[in-house]
Structures are given as C-alpha cells and as structure tokens.
Amino acid sequence: MMPTVLVTGRDGQLGFELRRTLAPLGRIVAVDIDDLNFCDLDAVRHLVRELRPDVIANAAAYTAVDRAETERAVAQSLNGDVPGVLAEELSRYGGKLIIHYSTDYVFDGSATKPYSEDDPPNPVNAYGESKLTGEWAVQRAGAPHIILRTEWLYAMRGTNFLLTILRLAREGKPLRIIADQVGAPTWARMLAEATATVAARFLQASAEDAKPWPGLYHVTASGQTTWHGFAQAILEESMLRLGRLKQPTEWCADAIRSLSAIATSDYPTPARRPAYSVLCNEKIGAAFGVRLPDWRAQLRMALEDYSFLP
C-alpha cells in the first residue's frame, strides 16, 4: 500500500515545493488554513487521527516576525503547540517520521562562526522563542523526527525578500538595504529537495540503520552574505537574465545605481534580528550526504523560474 504523506502549509513557499518533491514517496495529502484551523489543536489532532499519515512534513508556520511581538499567543500556538501535537499523534499510532522546520532565529546572533546544532539557542524575539518551543515539543513527543533549521528562505511565490526587491526595483523605488546582518539566503526548492533526500534515505533504511538519524539538523545554502549583498546579487543576476532573454534592463540598472547600504539602527523594527545567522551544515552532510549549493548559485537557478514580463 502506498504510504501517505501529510504536508501542512500547502500554499506557503516551502509547502508548495514539498508537494512536488515528496510526491515520489507516496500519496500526498496537503492542507492549509483554508482546510484546517491550525489554532484549534483538537482539529489538528482529529486530522492526524483520521488520516494516520506515515510521514508528516510540517511546513505550516507563523512567519510574521515583527507582528509576533504583539501576537505572541498566535505565534506560540502555530509554531510551538501545533508541531508538538502533530508529533504526539504520529507517535501514538506508530507513524514513521515527522519532519519539522525551524529557524536561525533561535540564536541571538552574537557568534562569529557558523552555528552548529550543539550551540545553545538564545532567541531575541517572540518569533524565535515560538520556533524554539516547537523544536522542544517535537523532541519531547517521542516520535521519529527530523528537525531542519534553515534561514533567509525565499521562493518565486508568496511574500519574501527576493520578490520585494524585484517589485520595488520595477517600481523605481530607492533601495536602502541593511548591510550589517549576515546570513545565507536559501531557495525553498533546494530545501524541499533536501527534505526529499533525507526522508527517502530514512524510510528506505532498516530500523537499525536509521537509529542514529532522528534529531536536529541545519540545512541552508552554503556561503554567506548580507541583506544588502543579497539585494545587489538579485539585481545583478536579474540584469544578466534579462540580457539573455533580450528584454529591457534599464530598470535593473537604475535599481543597482539607487542601491545603498544602511545599518540595522537606521531601520528600526518591532522585533530584534540576529546580526549573524549563518548555520553550519556539516552534520546533515555527514549523515545524509546533503550539501546545498552556494547561495548565489541557488539565486541564479531560482531566477530562471521568474517571469520578467510585465
């Protein structure tokens, strides 16, 4: 019988990709807020008990970092409570695996070298606190689990930094971008493909061989940059892509000329951000052979999916 894979957050930038990359593993059942009130934990329990999926990929999350400062209860419910309920229910009937996603924001950003899975978390905002609570809830539930921490996620859909930069550039707006926060921009499709690799290896292994694998892993693009560096690369790579497509490049060139670097202090936000968010990917590479391309190479591939037409 074909395994059932439950994907939550179906219409999000990661959930959209997971529906495709996980399809070879079995029958995909994907849900989002239109199908399920994730703040109703009883409804979440009922869904899992009725469906009894073999695998759960939990991409549903509260991601409004600044709004989480005033909507702590909602962020805590979606990011902290729901993952625990999903893992508990999977454990109850002996499901095979839950994959849950977390964030670099569980760290305070005071490091000077990439964070490993063993570094102590210390979130500096409500969003990071809620995501850390979700990690702990999954770990406590006792189900076979893999928690994937990632960072600076973007895609060709939804709301994210890449699409915002392209929109502002096309509108001719001046771009003042923070240059003192460091991280690794990661394409959602690359994360989804890494998830599929991890899940397939886990499910195909014998119970004895898979014993060391459950746990926490970092999975991001390699390399690092700043938000300003990312914005500049988006515009430069877009101009090259436009040239290959024989489309006008003036708006891109104008945006590059307008781009300026600012400090975090010049752009105050309700939620504090870590100054340094780079994650070390050695553990997942050693365990599963997963090594994502450099952040700029990922960006180049992602832009091949972007329509530059008006």
pLDDT band of residue 295 (cuts 50, 70, 90) is: very high
CA distance to 118, 235, 240, per residue, from 309 (Å): 46, 15, 15
| pTM listed for this prediction | 0.95
Label residue 306 by pLDDT band (50, 70, 90): confident
pLDDT in tens, 122-136: 999 999 999 999 999
Is 127 a known active-site residue?
Answer: yes
Burial class (CB in 10 A: 0-12, 13-18, 19+), 292: buried
Q: 62, 101, 105, 127: which is the annotated catalytic residue?
A: 127
CA nearest 215: which of 276, 144, 269, 161?
144
Query: Can you give the C-alpha Rg of the chain in angstroms?
Result: 20
Is the domain covering 4-154+188-220+280-292 a CATH 3.30.2040.10 domain? Answer: no
Q: What is the pLDDT of residues 200-249, one digit of tens each?
A: 998 887 666 666 778 999 999 999 999 999 999 999 999 999 999 899 89
pLDDT tens for each residue of 141-161: 999 999 999 999 999 998 999
